Structure 1
């Protein structure tokens, strides 16, 4: 019985590694994307595109990841500006906010896209 209780305590005690939160998606977006794409996701007409309903934002994750990694036009590359987890958080925020219903992005997907682009 004592072994069962000890095992239950081990299993039910949160690991310090698992208990640490990841990057805050809204904060990462606000600090890195909102200047151009706005907190509302509507962008600035004639200058920066909105992300609400955007076909790249809501399309296949690899295309959105590549765009954020490498930038395009006036959009800077975030490859060396954000960690993979931070990039995944910002992308996930944009893909699931303002009525967007695309799936979240993981840090592993970003890491994989970086490796494929080398």
Structure 2
């Protein structure tokens, strides 16, 4: 099962150090390991730190992950998961955006970062 996560900054402030992770506590797949989202494209290095990607207002970044389903997943008819986008705003305040997905097909998850005031 392939996952594509698109994180978009719809606010007016920068989103620094954007990462995406899966919530192990809400993942119902029975195979291991848990999907591990990896950065693929988009965003910039606005803070000059060379670490996680940053998003200007209106910008987006793409992350992907793969999970191998097994017979038990097929028998249950679904794999539930919750992806989390993490970032830090201009005031160095960390925020998160959650998205729940229930599917067994190729998944496109679009996470919108909240508008920062």
Q: Looking at both structures, which has the greater relative contact order when contacts are Cα pairs under 8 Å and sequence separation is at least 6?
A: 2
Q: TM-score, normalised by structure 1?
A: 0.24
* Bigger share in helix: 1
Q: TM-score, normalised by structure 2?
A: 0.24
* Bigger share in strand: 2
